[in-house]
Amino acid sequence: CKLSRSGPPATIVTIDEESPNGTVLVENMQINGRAQDPGRTISLTLLDNYDYWVILDPARQRLFLNSTGRVLDRDPPKSITTIVVQIQCKNELVGTVILHEVRIVVRDRNDNTPRFEHRRYYVAVNELTPTGTTIFTGFSGDNGATDIDDGPNGHIEYAIQYNPDDPASNGTVSVANILSGHIILAERLNYEERTRYLVIVQANDRASYPPNRRTATTTLTVDVLDGDDLGPMFLPCVLVNNTHDCNPLTYRVVIPEFTEPTKLNPLNVTPQIRAVDMDKNIQPPSDRPGILYYILVGHPATYREYFSLNRTTAELRVLKPISRDLYQKFTLVIKAEQDNGHPLPAYADLIIEILDENNQAPYFESATYQGYVSESSPVGTTISVSTNLTAPLGIIALDNDIEE
């Protein structure tokens, strides 16, 4: 029962997991003696054959794998990493018994694909976030992809893939660290242009032979949040062709001369002076800046004595009566800006015209008018100024309060 080779009575062999039934584990145990009749000198018995994974052919001293109807799976949940059996050798001549240990080490194969913990991942990013900022760490721990294989076969790397449905997505973010899957912003965002990106993230294991690597993908939805990068705009805004800019806007108001402010205020400007922030969706709403209104410059320069614009309501008030002999018109530039120290101003024109006081009655050019019409004329015939009936009779009234 002694070994015909040198070394201790222990054998270590290695096989791949999932090896087929009948795979030879040990070609020959190299035990001295003959284990088959006739002329038998030893008897070989398999001991400790837990779950019957091993079959012994005593005559040839050969061990086979028994995976009939099952799979030798190294990975969880079975996690069969080694099989240890004893070959008992009994010397039939003197009755001595020796145990030979056979240790079968099961080698991992890359037979499992990475799996993402969640079907989809989601992150919201403010549009003002600088490039290079880490925006997503949601693959940390076991929240990203996992792979139950052993060693590199079960280690994960992350990469961004091209998304044909969203071709810009692979340039917008990048993977900062392929092992952690931390994702950084690679390009400036602009909420006013795009509010969502669908990024395809691939996880692959690190099997040492690259063609054996297995991959899985998931979608990371990147929602862009509105940030305070735009200022107010005066309403109504008519966009300049193909831009986000408003056309210049003029507000107008006409006020009669010599009239007490109390009868006029607040002035009825058309359209009503109003500005809104072009950032429409800053969250929470309490972070949205208020808008302040100012008169920036004006002509004639004395406008300050006559008009005031309420900073918060944009209400325009006249401060004292105005003589049309002095001023026919004020041309002002008004400004709207944010109240949060980040003004981003917008401008509009405001034209105030002074109307002549209505202290004259209209009067006719002539005290009487005479007209002519043929006796047989139908209803609707124009009355003429003379008997030859060529020109119509005109009746003219005038008013000295207005020039034309």
Catalog residues that contact Ca ion under the rule CB under 5 A. Answer: 75, 108, 110-112, 147, 149, 153, 191, 205, 226, 228-230, 277, 279
Helix locations, 243-402, DSSP H: 261-264, 303-306
64 interacts with ligand NAG by CB under 6 A: yes
The type of residue at 380 is G
The DSSP line for 115-183 is: EESSSEEEEEEETTPPTT-EEE-TTTTTTSEE--SSGGGG-EEEEEE--TTSTTHHHHEEEEETTTTEE
Instruction: Map tokens 């009234």 to a residue.
Output: 397
Q: Give the residue from 29, 37, 28 showing the smallest Cα distance to 92.
A: 37
**Site pattern 22..61 for ligand NAG (x: CB under 6 A):** x----------------------------xx--x------
Helix, strand, coil percentages (3-state) for the chain, rounded to 5, are 5, 40, 55
149 binds, among ligand NAG, Ca ion, none (CB under 5 to 8 A by kind): Ca ion
**Site pattern 153..192 for ligand NAG (x: CB under 6 A):** ---------x-------xx---------------------
State the Cα–Cα distance between residues 104 and 17, nearest whole angstrom. 11
257 binds, among ligand NAG, Ca ion, none (CB under 5 to 8 A by kind): none
310 interacts with ligand NAG by CB under 6 A: yes
Shortest approach of Ca ion to residue 278 CB, angstroms? 6
312 interacts with ligand NAG by CB under 6 A: yes
Shortest approach of Ca ion to residue 260 CB, angstroms? 40
- CA dihedral (30, 32, 36, 39) positive or negative: positive
Nearer to ligand NAG, 19 or 143 (CB): 19
State the Cα–Cα distance between residues 305 and 314, nearest whole angstrom. 17
Nearer to ligand NAG, 85 or 348 (CB): 85
| Token pair listed for 215 | 């991959």
**Site pattern 226..245 for ligand NAG (x: CB under 6 A):** --------------xx----
Binding site for ligand NAG (CB under 6 A): 21-22, 51-52, 55, 64, 66, 68, 162, 170-171, 240-241, 310, 312-313, 386, 388, 390
